[in-house]
Copies of this chain bind each other. A is one copy, B any other.
Amino acid sequence: MTDLPAILAQITQEMADLPESGKSADYIPELACIDPDQFAIAVVTADGTLHTAGSADQPFSIQSVSKVFALALALGQVGDTMWQRVGVEPSGQRFDSILQLEQEKGRPRNPFINAGAIVVTDTLLKGCTPREALGGLMRFVQEAAEDDTLRIDPSVAQSEIATGARNFALAHYMKSHGNLVHEPDLVLGTYFHQCAIEMTVAQLARAGRFLADLPDGSKLVAAQRVRRLNALMVTCGHYDGSGDFAFRVGLPGKSGVGGGILAVAPGRASIAVWSPGLNVYGNSLRGTLALERLTTLTGWSVFG
């Protein structure tokens, strides 16, 4: 094993030296004012050790990284019937695109674009209230991270409800095709709260261990399902920049507009990075670069 602490320190320094950091998400008022230069990275290795560098204790809004947890939980509840309502193909479009919903009759391409994640949240609401559904999701994430202190930031959720017209359009459109069971207001109220989960990179890296198939990892999710989640993260985890992420980083990963990315090197490590400045695809600019450096320096790519 290479000297991981030294590698993380080196990467953190490289990121601090980068001339550009991207721009924080500007369409969610609560996120727009966050300093885009911040950076943190955390790695849990196969022996359970946690390594961190940068602002590893700074909580951030995980946003779309939550889609992985919601999908993992929902698959446990509805199984493969999920795939009747949502596909497993990369969309090749922006995260909030609506045009494929028209071309494909209300069925989202995959569960990691907004439309697909709204369907996943809709399944979590089956037979329960938004509060109960969110409670179930929080218990899943807390168990994954072995951390009962994880919480949702309600001010971020409210900020998104007030400005989330694009997501309301997606929900109403799917409803018009019969692919939303509950009322759009109810589903999106739940969805925006799910996106507003707050975590540090240390917490997020720990929460991702179940995807990394670590020797002593919790068996929250069956191995075959984990493989499928990881496959989806490779092909669809970074929207229309998924190919670029696979090409450069070589790991399953899921990004959020809060600047966080969760990535896993199966059998080796669960990794979380955070830097709020985004690239053109809406993924963390420095976070992606940091992961590219990490797999280059460690040889952790799943592709050889």
Contacts and interface: CB of A to CB of B under 8 A. Distances in A.
Interface of A: 87-93, 97-103, 109-110, 165-166, 168-173, 175-176, 184, 211-213, 223-224, 226-228, 230-232, 234-236, 240-244, 246-247, 250, 252, 264, 266-267, 296, 301-304
Nearest to A231: B246
9 contacts: A90-B243, A92-B109, A169-B173, A213-B304, A230-B303, A231-B303, A232-B246, A234-B235, A235-B247
Residue with the highest number of chain B CB atoms closer than 10 Å, among A98, A101, A171: A98
> Nearest 7 CB-CB pairs, A to B?
A92-B92, A89-B243, A165-B176, A230-B303, A169-B173, A266-B304, A99-B99
A93 B99 CA distance: 12
B89 A304 contact: no
A212 B304 contact: yes
B240 A89 contact: yes
Contacts of A109: 92
A301 B231 CA distance: 9
A167 B46 CA distance: 49
Nearest to A180: B165
Contacts of A98: 98-99, 101-102, 169, 173
A90 B240 CA distance: 8
